Structure 1
Amino acid sequence: MSWTLTAHDLPDLARGATLLGTGGGGDPYIGQMLVQQVLGDGEITILDPEEIADELFVIPTAQMGAPTVMVEKIPAGTEPLLALRTLEAHLGRTAEATMPIECGGINSMIPLIVAAESGLPVVDADGMGRAFPELSMETFAVYGVQGSPLALAGERGEKVIIDTGADNRQMESFARAVTIRLGGVGHIAEYAMTGADVRRTAVPRTLSMALNLGRAIRLAREQHRSPFTAIADTLAQTLYSHVRELHVGKVVDVERRTTEGFARGKATISNLDDTGVPVEINFQNENLVARRGDELLAIVPDLICIVDHETAEPITTEGLRYGQRVRVLGISTPDLMRSEAALETFGPQAFGLSDSFVPVEQLSGP
């Protein structure tokens, strides 16, 4: 069922999107402020993917770049709509809706900026079901939608069209190179598709899931209930039905560097009493793999989420700091993100990891 979103919903949506961003996807608070500034007292129509017409023309919009850069390089706010208009002009066709390419982090907010400025509705679905670091890592691509042509816009009005045909990895490479030249952040419109394509290739209802997650965490805290139980109860009603607490501990080391347009590194999380084997989490914008020594705890594409150990407030990779007391959660992804074709696109080997994918619910507990 379609619904409307107002500025009142944005803090809860940002919180839930940060959790689904698995440490990456960019800071949604910045996106929240940009949406709020444009939206004011207005509202945005969110379309249920099962209700849209087959011929509806949808152009997803997003931000790309290293999350660490976005903390200091605040967008002007004009770039997402400029990217959409640039792609429309190139295609000679006007978008009838926009949509996130990922439901995590700031990219849950970018289509809302476009919607608030243009009046377009937003489809309640996305192409990652979480956040991934590369544009080619989309369920859209896995199930046959071509990413090119892509329009990329910068904060000073720069506009670029990239068309690599069916080669989505080359599209990612070219767009990443341009984004680096723009200072590490760019805004894009890509994967133009029909409503029928959306239903066939997208992860459904992830915006509403992010909103429900963020609201559940807030209400649990206000009512002095466990926010972790609230997370599990909320996800049990979705395609992300399994939640496991992987570790409770203290951040004792963070190695982080911005290179090739990504934030790469690892975090080491000890036990609270500093005994036993610590957990190590490797990330490339997003958390990719969690291990305790040689024991695999969770691995991409399943979600590895680091949250405050009392409030369940999600923590991004750029927000990790020495001394933080945290919980590490493993969350299962939907089946369409675990198919053989999907794992070839955004499974462990796509990130150069030697481990094979094992669903988090099949791994041994902590």
Structure 2
Amino acid sequence: MNPITAVTAPRDSYTQLVDEGAIEALALGCAVFGAGGGGNVETGAWAARHAISVHGPVEVVALEALDDDDLILPLHAIGAPTVSQEMLPSGNEPGLIRTEVERIFGKPVRALMAGEIGGANGVRAAGWASSLGVPLLDADGMGRAFPEIDMVSMQLAGLKPDVIVLADVQGNVTTCRPLDGPWAERLARAVCVASGSTALMTSYVMTAAQARGAVIERSVSRAIEVGQLLQRPGTGVAALCETLDATQLITGKIVELDRADVGGFARGSAVISGTGNDRGRLVRLEIQNENLLALEDGVAVATTPDPIVVLDAESAHALGTDTLQYGQRVTVIAWPCHPIWRSDAGVQKTGPSAFGYEIPFRPIPAVSLSQ
């Protein structure tokens, strides 16, 4: 394995509890790191709170707290966020997937990990862990949300999704053994579309030893911290930008919105017309579940893999691409992604060219308002 040393947090074995009261902060933070995708955090928070009310609070543990042979189950929803709002999960999907994974690997799952911290996938992971009675790992595979399942740090670290398992709301369970990450995406997306464009899945099942240096640690803690900031009275866009070292791209009103479910993704664009100091400017967002590009006068002002997030201009709460509406007053911000995505391999996997755009990656500088 080629370890990604940049993703490794200081080694300790801390634990913390996520109860019903902590879900709101987790959801607010996950919405920010979703970059517009990852699923709707409102329904995700509702599901997580319900699971915790039935099964109890979930322990969030550091990777160091696990033994090398402990099996980690990454879970995430796959499909179009717009569909997942209407076709809610049954609640049986995590158990169906765990049963199949334990049958294949011949040992029990010791911890659950959010495949991506962004959006509903981040907050629902707390509920999935509670329902399965296992700890939630303080880590994920993206540090944000990306639309394709092989766009994860484990792929860059040399791990392979040798087994993928999907379960849908009807109770169908599909197991595939793909050759590599891109094949995992193709096969899983086809199964997802057949299931109505939404399903739950696992990929990159790994031991704790394999996870060391291959996952992005402390992402759950970071989401909770950002969510707690947004819960403080008077917190606005400026305070959030300072915390994230983010750049404000434009403040204005959504004047055009084009969105459709195509091939298991929510694809489209949104145009923001500037107001106040930004009056006279137009910024266009290109969308594939997440916000991929921000363009002004045909020139990219921000691009994937840096997170591009649309905020409610007043509350600074992040808006998913599935919840954007004509006439909304918004502020668009962007900040530097995790360093692994700025590597050559990271940009090749998640930069503009990975989505068919013939433009270079345009890095956002780290700009702290306190400086």
Q: 1:291 and 1:110 mapped to 2: Cα distance?
A: 32
Which residue of 2 is the match for residue 8 of structure 1? 21
Question: Any conservation in 2 of the 1:262–1:284 contact (CA below 8 Å)?
Answer: yes
TM-score by length of structure 1 reads 0.92
Matched, 1:248 2:257: no
Residues 304-332 of structure 1 show CA distances to partners (whole Å, capped at 9, x for unaligned) of 00001111011111111111110001111
* 1:208 maps to 2:221: yes
Give structure 2 stretches of 5+ with no counterpart. 1-13
Look up the equivalent residue of 2:350 and give its one-letter code. Answer: F
Number of aligned residue pairs: 352
Query: Are the counterparts in 1 of residues 94 and 132 from structure 2 also a CA contact under 8 Å?
Result: no
Partner of 2:206: 193
- In structure 2, distance between residues paired with 1:244 and 1:308: 15
Can you list the C-alpha shifts for 1:212-249, whole angstroms capped at 9, x where unaligned? 11110111xx2x3x4223323433xxxxxx31111111
Percent of counterpart pairs with the same letter? Answer: 33
Matching residue of 1:148: 162
Instruction: Give the deviation of 1:101 after TM superposition.
Output: 0.8
Shift of residue 52 of structure 1?
Answer: 3.2
**Alpha-carbon distance in structure 2 between the residues aligned to 1:349 and 1:295:** 15
What is the CA distance between 1:53 and its match in structure 2? Answer: 3.0
Q: What's 1:270 paired with?
A: 273
Alignment TM-score, normalising by the size of structure 2:
0.91
Q: Is the 8 A contact 2:293 2:303 kept in 1?
A: yes
Asked whether the equivalents of residues 18 and 126 of structure 2 are also in contact (C-alpha less than 8 Å), the reply is no
Aligned to 1:94: 108
**Cα distance between partner residues in 2 of 1:4 and 1:190:** 26
Contact 1:128 1:203 survives alignment (8 Å): yes
Correspondence for 1:231 among 229, 232, 240 = 240
Q: Say if 1:17 and 1:104, in contact at 8 Å, map to a contact too.
A: yes
Distance 1:59 1:322, change over 3 A: same
How far off its partner does 1:253 sit?
0.5
Are 1:48 and 2:62 counterparts?
yes
Contact map agreement 2:254 2:329 (CA 8 A) in 1:
yes
Inter-partner Cα distance in structure 2 for 1:35 and 1:148:
29
CA distance, structure 2, for counterparts of residue 230 and residue 84 of structure 1: 40
- The AA in structure 1 aligned to 2:199 is G
In the other structure, the counterpart of 2:299 is 295
RMSD over aligned CA atoms reads 1.7
Aligned-pair CA distance for 1:58 = 0.7
In the alignment, the residues of structure 2 paired with residue 351 and residue 257 of structure 1 have an alpha-carbon distance, to the nearest angstrom, of 17
| Alpha-carbon offset, residue 362 of structure 1 | 7.6
Q: Does 1:329 align with 2:333?
A: yes
Structure 1 unmatched ranges of 5 or more: 236-241
Query: Residue 2 of structure 1: CA displacement?
Result: 2.1
2:98 matched to 1:84? yes
- 1:50, CA displacement in angstroms? 4.0
Q: Does 2:142 correspond to 1:128?
A: yes
Amino acid at match of 1:26: G
Q: Aligned residue for 1:239?
A: none
Name the CA distance, whole Å, in 1 between partners of 2:42 and 2:251: 26
Cα pair 1:257 1:263 within 8 Å, conserved: yes
Structure 2 SS opposite 1:40: helix
Instruction: Name the structure 1 match of 2:5.
Output: none
Is contact 2:141–2:154 with CA below 8 Å preserved after alignment? Answer: yes
Q: 2:90 aligns to what SS in structure 1?
A: coil
Q: Look up the match of 2:8.
A: none
Distance in 1 separating the partners of 2:161 and 2:23: 28
Q: Name the CA distance, whole Å, in 1 between partners of 2:43 and 2:147.
A: 19
2:11: which partner in 1? none
Contact 1:82–1:153 (CA under 8 A) maintained in structure 2: yes
Q: Quick check: 1:31 aligned with 2:44?
A: yes
